Amino acid sequence: MCLLVSTRNLLARNTEFHDHGSTDGLVCTRIVAMAESTKKKEIYTYQAPWMIYAMNWSVRRDQRFRLAIGSFLEEYLNKVEIVQLDEPSGRFVTKATFEHPYPPTKLAWCPDPEGSRPDLLASSGDFLRLWKPTEEGVKLECELNNNTNSKFCAPLTSFDWNETDPSIVGTSSIDTTCTIWNIETKQAKTQLIAHDKEVYDIAFAPSTDVFASVGADGSVRMFDLRSLEHSTIIYESPDLVPLLRLAWNKQDHNYLATFLMDQSKVVILDIRAPSLPVAELKGHNSCVNSIAWAPHSSCHICTAGDDSQALIWDLSQMPKPIEDPILAYTADAQVNTLQWSSSQTDWVAIAYDKRLQILRV
């Protein structure tokens, strides 16, 4: 069972590279250079004391190679660690460790590359929480719960920062709703019934007021912050199989990607031609767990799954079929999650079992 569903249920109660032969992908150029030079190490590994599920890069340029990782323990008290690569020694250093109620379903840093805003880490679980690293440790800034009638709320499956306005965060919940928060006022701007069943993920389109969500009803739905009374169903999976995650193309917001529960393919959608996928990526041998678009390229995406592989694809030939990835990385266990660094775009992070690895691509 995928960890997303396991986490939902709980809340409710060195390796080798394989080049696949593309000649013109930007990633392939990196691999050729890697083979010709041994000046810089291409893989760094951190061993955590527990299984890692949630994980994400810091985006601040003054915090190179800083990541947050969250534990997956089937008990109430879990952990979040902030780790950072010490580049001279090539080792990860633990900067802070703090307790987190339940396993965090997602971790993400404030999208503030220049460091002009407070340095905040957000987490979702039973609530949306904002944490602030300090010299003394990590301080809980606030705990956001939109259920005013109870100290409890329905578990949150995911959230996303609005990169255009980082004061806005959207959350998704198993109670069929999405909530849009203003984290500066610590108030919910709106809460809407987004799906007919549990909502598993939410994501803002880059540089727009548009966001999309996916859920257990098998649909991708698109919303606009300026007109929340309307939504558009842009895709429904065959037999309405639940959709677990979605991700917007960072350079071309006409494209987004999603994947189906317990299936090995990734679906690429063009919102200008909804209903039918513009491409399906079928390189995995087991179910997909995570997807991440390249932050600096409109035609590259990374996928990872239970077959222990992280695959990078070149989509520049769409709408022609995309037969094979241009790069495959095989880990020692199933890959639970992956993230592509937005500030250091030649690095991808994956988490499997108790290991965090960052890979130069």
For residues 74 and 361, what is the distance between their CA atoms, to the nearest angstrom? 34
What pLDDT is attached to residue 299?
96
Contact 84, 358 (CB under 8 A): no
Name the DSSP letter for residue 102: S
pLDDT in tens, 198-246: 999 999 998 778 999 999 999 999 999 888 888 899 999 999 999 999 9
Residue 87, CA atoms < 13 Å, CB-side half-sphere: 6
What pLDDT is attached to residue 153?
76
Cβ–Cβ contacts within 10 Å for residue 222, how many? 18
Residue 124, H or E segment:
strand 121-124
Rama region for 137: left / alpha / beta (φ>0; ψ in -120 to 50; rest) = left
Which of these, 298, 296, 292, lies nearest to 312 by C-alpha position?
292
Domain that holds residue 310: 3-360
Strand partners, 47: 355
What pLDDT is attached to residue 275?
84
The token duo for 263 is 């299936």
Q: Which CATH number is 147's domain given?
A: 2.130.10.10
The token duo for 235 is 């895709």
What pLDDT is attached to residue 35?
37
List of residues 6+ apart from 276 with CB closer than 8 A: none
pLDDT in tens, 258-301: 999 999 999 999 999 988 999 999 999 999 999 999 999 999 99
Count of the separate structural domains present in the chain: 1
Which of these, 337, 286, 358, lies nearest to 53 by C-alpha position?
337
* DSSP secondary structure letters along 182-221: ETTTTEEEEEEE--SS-EEEEEEPTTSSEEEEEETTSEEE
For residues 241 and 288, what is the distance between their CA atoms, to the nearest angstrom? 14
Show the low-confidence residues of the chain (pLDDT under 50).
Answer: 1-2, 4-8, 10-39
Backbone angles phi, psi at 34, to 5 degrees: -60, -45
What spatial distance separates the first Cα and last Cα of the chain, rounded to whole Å?
29
